[in-house]
């Protein structure tokens, strides 16, 4: 039996980096006022089609969609934003306080062609903010991402930012884009031609080389911004500059999802070949209303957790196996029984203790203690029990002390908790 293509196990020897990232992210989110939210893995297909956009790669080609027994069309979530917006509306969160900040960490599903940094089940660390129109929240989201990456020791990342405008300035841009596309029609792929009427903005992120070449001088949203969007973007940029956050204004960044308005960004790396985006996000001021809620601005980002860990693994190549505080070498039935109770009590007290129940030789057990990188080894055989002198050996200094059975556990806790 094997995992399905694009799906994978994350094995214990790789998990320490995942846990480190999760801890740093949670600490930061907490400090910035985000609350954790947990959302279902499956939603009605309609939710994703409506929010991400019918004419996008995700919705057209990549979703795991199936009919349940009653024939309802359901989809494994390809991202978290749509669900969090749905939840915000469903629970009328806007009524008590429209300003809400959420984060979630969990798996997403997209049926893309698997390659390094690209999986069919992948994990995202997602953050969303509702109810704030000010450009300061845009800068703060990028600042937060930057701070997280800094804390994780990542270098060589670059923040690409752009503004995609709003419903006021979009039509002028779309017209210019359509005129431009019309002039390049003979060089565009089938898919792009099909999208011309339905969703021309998506043509800009077509990956086909010919299309990319043809689109080099395509009009950019940035050149068509209305005054409000321009001021908004200017505040985002100056605020980031004042905070010392490096960024590149990237006119060609359009993101792959339809809900974005105004600021959009990606954090890119050169470490993972073609899969350059470690995180992406942006503002979506129309989405809450589009999905049936009151007009409420929104903004958020998602970090590609798998990609982030892969970049970190390139920096720190040594797999980290946490060592053991104590290994109990129990020889003989009586010592095994005692050892069993000691190990449970020590585990209860938070001391990382292992014992091998398989009645092995002293030599084999010492070998195992070394394999686990145990700081201390407790040696209990028949002799030690009759003499009431259990040996505790410090594996670093090789010093040994003798402990009495009656007070063994509290003594060990005292020594090992130092």
Interacting residues with ligand HAM (CB under 6 A) = 79-81, 110, 112, 117-119, 122, 124, 126, 128, 256-257, 277-282, 300-302, 304, 306-307
Look at strands 158-163 and 261-268 and give their pairing.
antiparallel
> Annotation-wise, does 124 bind a ligand?
yes
The vertex-239 CA angle with 305 and 32, nearest 5°, equals: 45
Q: Is the dihedral of CA 81, 86, 87, 93 positive or negative?
A: positive
Asked whether 278 and 157 are in contact (CB, 8 A), the reply is: yes
* Rounded distance between C-alpha atoms, residue 401 and residue 28, angstroms: 44
258, 60 contact by CB (below 8 A): no
How, if at all, do strands 324-330 and 374-380 pair? parallel
Contacts of 74 (CB under 8 A, 6+ apart): 42, 43, 44, 45, 65, 66, 67, 68
- What stretches of 152-189 show up as alpha helix (H) in DSSP? 170-183
Is 79 annotated to bind a ligand? Reply is: yes
Cβ 104 to ligand HAM, closest distance in Å? 10
Q: Closest approach of Cβ 94 to ligand HAM, in Å?
A: 17
Return the bridge partners of 75, or none. Answer: 43, 65
- Annotated binding residue 340: no
Q: Distance of alpha carbon 394 from its chain centroid, rounded?
A: 40
**Is the Cβ of residue 200 or residue 304 nearer to ligand HAM in the bound state?**
304
| 53 versus 282: smaller Cβ distance to ligand HAM | 282
Please tell me whether 77 is known to bind a ligand.
no
Choose between 126 and 384: whose C-beta lies nearer to ligand HAM. 126
Give the shortest CB-209-to-ligand HAM separation in angstroms.
21
In angstroms, the Cα distances linking 77 to 107, 255, 287 are: 8, 18, 17
How far is it, in rounded angstroms, from Cα 388 to Cα 382?
Answer: 10
Residue with Cβ nearer ligand HAM (289 or 352) = 289
Closer of 156 and 350 to ligand HAM (Cβ): 156
Indicate the residue among 111 and 194 with the shorter CB distance to ligand HAM: 111
> Nearer Cβ to ligand HAM, position 52 or 218?
52
Residue nearest to ligand HAM (CB): 304
CB of 7 to ligand HAM, least distance (A): 11
Minimum CB distance to ligand HAM, residue 300 (Å): 3
Q: Can you read off the two tokens belonging to residue 303?
A: 């970090």
CB of 223 to ligand HAM, least distance (A): 24
**Residue 256 C-beta: closest distance to ligand HAM, Å:** 6
Minimum CB–partner distance for residue 303 and ligand HAM (Å): 6
Residue 100 among known ligand-binding residues: no
Q: Which residues of 105-116 are buried (b: 16+ CB within 10 A; e: fewer)?
A: beebbbbbeeee
- C-alpha distances (whole Å) from 246 to each of 36, 161, 303 are 28, 10, 18
Shortest distance, position 123 Cβ to ligand HAM, whole Å: 8
- DSSP notation for 347-390: HHTT--EEE--S---HHHHHHHHHHTTEEEEEEE-HHHHHTT-E
Residue 267 CB, nearest approach to ligand HAM (Å): 8
Smaller CB separation from ligand HAM, 281 or 339: 281
187: left (phi over 0), alpha (psi -120 to 50) or beta: alpha
Closer to ligand HAM by Cβ: residue 200 or 281: 281
DSSP strand pairing (73-76 vs 353-355): unpaired
Q: Per residue in 322-332, is it b (16+ CB within 10 Å) or e — as a string? A: eebbbbbbbbb
| 278 vs 392, beta carbon nearer ligand HAM | 278
Binding-site residue positions for L-histidine: 79-81, 110, 124, 128, 255, 259-260
Binding-site residue positions: 79-81, 110, 124, 128, 255, 259-260
């Amino acid at each position: 039996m094997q995992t399905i293509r694009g799906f994978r196990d994350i094995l214990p020897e790789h998990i320490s980096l995942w846990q480190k990232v999760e801890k740093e992210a949670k600490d930061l989110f907490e400090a910035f006022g985000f609350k954790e939210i947990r959302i279902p893995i499956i939603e009605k297909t309609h939710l994703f089609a409506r929010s991400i956009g019918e004419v996008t790669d995700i919705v057209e080609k990549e979703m795991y969609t199936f009919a349940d027994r009653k024939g309802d069309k359901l989809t494994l979530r390809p991202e978290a934003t749509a669900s969090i917006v749905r939840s915000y509306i469903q629970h009328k969160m806007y009524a008590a306080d429209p300003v809400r900040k959420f984060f979630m960490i969990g798996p997403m599903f997209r049926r893309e062609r698997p390659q390094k940094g690209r999986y069919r089940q992948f994990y995202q660390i997602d953050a969303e903010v509702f109810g704030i129109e000010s450009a300061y929240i845009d800068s703060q989201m990028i600042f937060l991402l930057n701070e997280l990456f800094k804390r994780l020791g990542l270098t060589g990342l670059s923040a690409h930012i752009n503004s995609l405008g709003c419903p006021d300035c979009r039509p002028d841009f779309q017209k210019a884009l359509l005129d431009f596309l019309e002039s390049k029609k003979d060089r565009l792929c089938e898919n792009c031609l099909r999208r011309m009427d339905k969703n021309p903005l998506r043509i800009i992120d077509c990956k086909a080389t010919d299309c990319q070449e043809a689109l080099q001088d395509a009009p950019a949203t940035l050149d068509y911004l209305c005054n409000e969007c321009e001021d908004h973007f200017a505040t985002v940029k100056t605020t980031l500059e004042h905070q010392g956050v490096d960024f590149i204004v990237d006119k060609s960044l359009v993101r792959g999802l339809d809900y974005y308005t105004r600021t959009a960004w990606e954090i890119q790396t050169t470490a993972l070949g073609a899969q350059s985006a470690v995180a992406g996000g942006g503002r979506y001021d129309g989405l809450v209303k589009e999905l049936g809620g009151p007009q409420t601005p929104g903004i958020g980002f998602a970090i590609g957790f798998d990609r982030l860990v892969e970049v970190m693994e390139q920096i720190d190549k040594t797999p980290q196996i946490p060592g053991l505080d104590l290994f109990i070498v129990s020889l003989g039935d009586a010592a095994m029984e005692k050892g069993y109770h000691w190990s449970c009590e020590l585990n209860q007290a938070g001391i990382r203790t292992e014992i091998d129940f398989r009645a092995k030789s002293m030599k084999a057990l010492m070998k195992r203690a070394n394999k686990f990188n145990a700081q201390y080894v407790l040696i209990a055989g028949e002799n030690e029990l009759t003499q009431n002198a259990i040996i505790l050996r410090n594996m670093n200094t090789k010093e040994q002390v003798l402990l009495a059975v009656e007070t063994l556990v509290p003594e060990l806790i005292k020594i090992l908790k130092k």
